[in-house]
Amino acid sequence: MEYLSSPEGINKIIVGIILVGAINAIFITYSVRRTYGAAKKEREQQKIQQAKIDKLSPKKE
């Protein structure tokens, strides 16, 4: 316990907190990009499908 209250121990604790925060930030960024990428792909697929539908059954004017 004395080691943790020494300057070296405090430095290690701070480095550990920074590492955990960095890993957490990387994970959050990955999750958000993956979710956004999947939503973007889905929109692209819907646009392509709608274009095909419009091409096959043109609207009467």
Taking only the tens place, the pLDDT of each residue in 4-50 is: 778 888 999 999 999 999 999 999 999 999 999 888 999 999 999 99
Residue showing tokens 């692209």:
44
Residue 61 lies in a domain: no
Residue 26 lies in a domain: yes
Cβ within 8 Å of residue 10, ≥6 positions away: 4
Residue 59 lies in a domain: no
Residue 14 lies in a domain: yes
6: DSSP letter = S
Residue 46 lies in a domain: yes
Residue 28 lies in a domain: yes
Tally of structural domains, the chain: 1
pLDDT of res. 57? 84
Its domain, for residue 6, covers 1-53
Residue 49 lies in a domain: yes
**Is 3's pLDDT higher than 80?**
no
